[in-house]
Amino acid sequence: MKPLLIVLSLSLFSSSSSKKIFSFSSKTDIKEWRIVNDGVMGGISNSSMTLNEAGNGQFSGHVSLANNGGFASVQLTNSVTLDAQKKYIVIRIKGDGKNYEFRLKSNVSQQESYVHSFSTTGEWEEIKLSIDAFYPQFRGQKLKSPNFNFSKIEVLSFLIANKEEEDFTLLIDWIGFE
């Protein structure tokens, strides 16, 4: 009986310390995610957001450096109030060994994004990104402004821009707070 109580208390503790912002499943409306590639600046990179057979989001495509291109991204508009107790954005992903950025905006009309880079291993992993380490960036340039310090998030996005021509695939299970 004691082992069961320990397992139950660990489960309760774990679920109370994290909060999911977005979870993919076979019922996810993938149209909520919007593709924004370098075509907005003349580039020819292409990407898509689909659901794989397991119900995970699959952000994949090809980054091209032609025509001053070099990035692909996908974004979700989803208003979330930040709890001051939560210090991290946690993402459960399976990458392809490449580097990506996770980006935040406090409102849809904001021009700059708040960026946190992360590397992938090719395995499923949970990556913790410190909210106060997200720095402001506009058109690839780091801005001399404070790091992310807002009480809400309206836009979440993933971006790949490694300054090289490459195919990529990033599987996303969920995004949460901790």
What are the residue ranges spanned by the domains of the chain?
Answer: 20-177
CB count, 10 Å around CB of 165?
13
What mean pLDDT comes out for the span 18-39? 94
At residue 17, the pLDDT reads: 61
Q: Name every residue whose Cβ is closer than 8 Å to that of residue 174 and which is 6 or more positions away in sequence.
A: 20, 21, 22, 23, 24, 91, 92
Q: Which fold has domain 20-177?
A: Jelly Rolls (2.60.120)
User: In angstroms, rounded to a whole number, what is the distance separating the alpha carbons of residues 142 and 161?
Assistant: 14
User: In angstroms, rounded to a whole number, what is the distance separating the alpha carbons of residues 11 and 27?
Assistant: 25
What mean pLDDT comes out for the span 130-142? 95
At residue 133, the pLDDT reads: 96
What mean pLDDT comes out for the span 3-13? 33
pLDDT digits (tens, 9 = 90+) for 73-113: 999 999 899 888 889 999 999 999 999 999 999 999 999 99
Whether the pLDDT of residue 14 is over 90: the answer is no
Average pLDDT of the chain, as a whole number? 90
DSSP H helices in the chain: 2-17
